[in-house]
């Protein structure tokens, strides 16, 4: 693929509009997308888990796969873990294994939804002993963080009710608040807790942390180390996620993302497939925020059922790279002028022009400068890693996903 002439033409155009291409490339080289351990094991829907030949069977194999995705993409240097799916006896050794593979362990996710006692919720359960058990598990995860070298605690609760009157929503709100405030006290120094919301599922009448506003209010009550996590799949149809991102960024409370694509609910599809413009809008808010977005954690939250796992994860990472590249090449100065002058469609066209620009030559150049193959998907297909792990690992319905 001779991408060079196209890259040079694009670089010339960007420099002419006042966008420094070297700066854009430097930002793209520093991009960091975290992949989820649970995306490498078998995962599926509540109807069927299709076992994938070569799916990782334990956390060490998941780390191997995450390191492989990083080797191909150059922008996925960490992996999120979910406890107890990824429970091990020696967490220090786990962190060292990750480092030996050239990656790091990122967010630690306590699992507060899979054990029988959580049927009526975890930290909001009407049972005090269940609430205590849930909090103890969160504290256990706070203790795991320094051992694996992580500074992020990622919290999602399946808590909620199915019927009006089932439990007191205000009592549950106070239980949630007490648990989060207590969690904040256990955070290792310099770390953050990210509070994830979801508007429904598995509870269908009400969810205890249903939306960003609730998560934001909780974060304010906890303290400065608490922020909101935006999972792109967790909104009602038509919600303007870019606006949520913009608000939270401006308040310094956007902690991170769980990227995926959805059409109807929490579909866990490959990010940037059916929502490329939405992903671009989100990245525009992040680029527009400049330094205000410097601590945001970019994580993928997908577990694929019918897609080839590694290729799906690679594509997810690359789609985030594409969206970021497009946001970086927006003619921001021209946009500001048009916005100030109230030129409605002119301003919108500046966005569309960047979105419609073919950034593949720019990304190819960035990859080559990083010593990578300019086309990671082609490199993946030409490589025998997937065939090798399929042979080694075979087909096993393994631990590591919500549906086992
Ligand atoms: C819940 O739907 C969620 O988005 C949470 O982030 C979980 O940790 C993750 O999916 C895996 O089940
Ligand atoms: Mn999520």
- Which structure tokens are listed for 26? 């430097």
Q: What is the DSSP string of 296-328?
A: -EEEE----SSS-HHHHHHHHHHHHHHHHHHHH
Q: Is residue 202 part of a domain?
A: yes
User: The tokens 């949520």 sit on which residue?
Assistant: 244
Residue 301 CB less than 6 A away from ligand 1: yes
Per-residue burial over 312-322, b = 16 or more CB atoms within 10 Å of its CB, e = otherwise: bbbbbbbbbbb
Q: Is residue 311 part of a domain?
A: yes
Q: Which ligand is nearest to the CA of 230?
A: 2
Residue 402 CB less than 6 A away from ligand 1: yes
Q: How many CB atoms lie within 10 A of CB 359?
A: 22
Q: How far apart are CA 47 and CA 370, in angstroms?
A: 42
Q: Which of 114, 195, 231 to mutate to test the pocket of ligand 1 (most atoms within 8 A of CB)?
A: 231
Does residue 167 have a pLDDT over 50?
yes
Say what the pLDDT of residue 398 is. Answer: 55
- CATH code for the domain in which residue 88 is found: 3.20.20.150
Q: Which of 68, 41, 37 is nearest to 56 (CA)?
A: 41
Report helix, strand or coil for 240.
coil
Assess contact for 229 and 256: CB atoms under 8 A. yes
Closest ligand 1 atom to 402 CA: 12
Does residue 399 have a pLDDT over 70?
no
- Helix residue ranges, H only, 303-401: 309-328, 332-340, 344-356, 360-369, 376-382, 385-393
Say what the pLDDT of residue 98 is. Answer: 98
Closest ligand 1 atom to 38 CA: 11
Does residue 329 have a pLDDT over 90?
yes
Q: Is residue 6 part of a domain?
A: no
Say what the pLDDT of residue 44 is. Answer: 86
Provide the pairing of β-strand 160-161 with 206-207. antiparallel
Q: What's the rounded mean pLDDT across residues 344-372?
A: 98
Give the confidence band of 404 by pLDDT, cuts at 50, 70, 90.
Answer: very low
Q: Is residue 11 part of a domain?
A: no
Say what the pLDDT of residue 397 is. Answer: 66
Q: Is residue 12 part of a domain?
A: no
Q: How far apart are CA 105 and CA 80, in angstroms?
A: 6
First to last CA, the chain: 42
Distance from Cα 45 to the centre of ligand 2, integer Å: 15
Q: What's the rounded mean pLDDT across residues 368-379?
A: 98
CA dihedral sign, ordered 54, 59, 63, 66: positive
Say what the pLDDT of residue 45 is. Answer: 87
CA distances from 333 to 12, 153, 156, 225, 245 (A): 17, 37, 39, 34, 21
User: How many degrees, rounded to 5, is the angle at CA 177 between CA 173 and CA 183?
Assistant: 145
Residues 267-315 pLDDT 10s: 999 999 999 999 999 999 999 999 999 999 999 999 899 999 999 999 9
Distance from Cα 86 to the centre of ligand 1, integer Å: 15
Q: How far apart are CA 273 and CA 352, in angstroms?
A: 17
Q: What is the DSSP letter of 271?
A: T
Residues 106-119 pLDDT 10s: 999 999 999 999 99
Distance from Cα 219 to the centre of ligand 1, integer Å: 19
Residues 216-275 pLDDT 10s: 999 999 999 999 999 999 999 999 999 999 999 999 999 999 999 999 999 999 999 999
Say what the pLDDT of residue 345 is. Answer: 98
Residues 172-212 pLDDT 10s: 999 999 999 999 999 999 999 999 999 999 999 999 999 99
Report helix, strand or coil for 258.
strand
Q: How far apart are CA 369 and CA 239, in angstroms?
A: 38
SS3 content of the chain, % helix, strand, coil (to 5): 50, 10, 40
Domain that holds residue 100: 31-324+384-393
Report helix, strand or coil for 236.
coil
Q: Is residue 77 part of a domain?
A: yes
Residue 208 CB less than 6 A away from ligand 1: no
Q: How far apart are CA 208 and CA 247, in angstroms?
A: 21
User: What rounded mean pLDDT belongs to the chain?
Assistant: 97
User: The tokens 């527009």 sit on which residue?
Assistant: 288
Q: Which ligand is nearest to the CA of 107?
A: 1
Give the confidence band of 43 by pLDDT, cuts at 50, 70, 90.
Answer: confident
Say what the pLDDT of residue 396 is. Answer: 76
Q: What's the rounded mean pLDDT across residues 363-382?
A: 98
Q: Is residue 1 part of a domain?
A: no
Q: Which of 201, 255, 258 to mutate to test the pocket of ligand 1 (most atoms within 8 A of CB)?
A: 258
Q: What's the rounded mean pLDDT across residues 36-49?
A: 92
Q: Is residue 217 part of a domain?
A: yes
CA distances from 144 to 107, 112, 206 (A): 11, 16, 31
Quote the number of domains for the chain. Answer: 1
Say what the pLDDT of residue 1 is. Answer: 64
Distance from Cα 258 to the centre of ligand 2, integer Å: 5
Upstream peptide bond of 88 is cis (omega within 30 degrees of 0): no
Half-sphere exposure of 349 (CA within 13 A, CB side): 7
Contacts of residue 226, defined as CB under 8 A and 6 or more positions apart, other chains included, come to 180, 184, 192, 193, 195, 218, 219, 220, 253, 255
């Amino acid at each position: 693929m001779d991408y060079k002439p196209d890259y040079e033409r694009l670089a010339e155009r960007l420099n002419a509009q006042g966008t420094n291409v070297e700066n854009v490339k430097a930002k793209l080289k520093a991009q960091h997308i975290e992949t989820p351990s649970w995306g490498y094991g078998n995962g599926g829907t509540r109807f069927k888990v299709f076992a994938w030949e070569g799916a990782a069977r334990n956390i060490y194999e998941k780390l191997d796969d995450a390191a492989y995705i990083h080797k191909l993409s150059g922008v996925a240097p960490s992996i999120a873990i979910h406890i107890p799916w990824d429970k091990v006896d020696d967490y220090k050794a786990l962190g060292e294994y990750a480092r030996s593979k050239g990656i790091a362990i990122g967010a630690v996710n306590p699992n507060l939804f899979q054990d029988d006692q959580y049927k009526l919720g975890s930290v909001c359960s009407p049972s005090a002993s269940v609430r205590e058990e849930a909090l103890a598990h969160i504290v256990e995860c706070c203790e795991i963080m320094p051992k694996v070298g992580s500074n992020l605690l990622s919290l999602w609760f399946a808590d909620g009710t199915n019927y009006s009157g089932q439990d007191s929503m205000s009592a549950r709100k106070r239980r949630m608040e007490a648990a989060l405030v207590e969690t904040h006290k256990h955070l290792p120094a310099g770390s953050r807790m990210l509070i994830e919301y979801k508007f429904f599922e598995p509870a269908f009448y009400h969810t205890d942390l249903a939306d960003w506003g609730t998560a934001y209010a909780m974060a304010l009550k906890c303290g400065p180390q608490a922020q909101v996590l935006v999972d792109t799949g967790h909104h009602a149809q038509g919600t303007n996620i870019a606006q949520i991102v913009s608000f939270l960024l401006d308040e310094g409370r956007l902690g991170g993302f769980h990227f995926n694509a959805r059409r109807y609910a929490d579909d866990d599809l490959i990010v940037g497939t059916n929502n490329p413009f939405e992903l671009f809008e989100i990245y525009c808010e992040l680029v527009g925020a400049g330094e205000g977005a410097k601590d945001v954690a970019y994580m993928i939250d997908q577990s694929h059922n019918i897609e080839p796992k590694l290729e799906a994860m690679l594509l997810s990472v690359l789609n985030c790279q594409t969206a970021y590249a497009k946001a970086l090449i927006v003619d921001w100065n021209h946009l500001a002028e048009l916005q100030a002058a109230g030129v409605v469609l002119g301003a919108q066209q500046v966005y569309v022009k960047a979105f419609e620009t073919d950034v593949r030559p720019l990304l190819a150049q960035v990859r080559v400068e990083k010593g990578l193959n300019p086309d990671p998907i082609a490199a993946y297909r030409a490589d025998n890693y997937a065939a090798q792990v399929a042979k080694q690992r075979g087909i096993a319905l393994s631990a590591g996903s919500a549906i086992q």
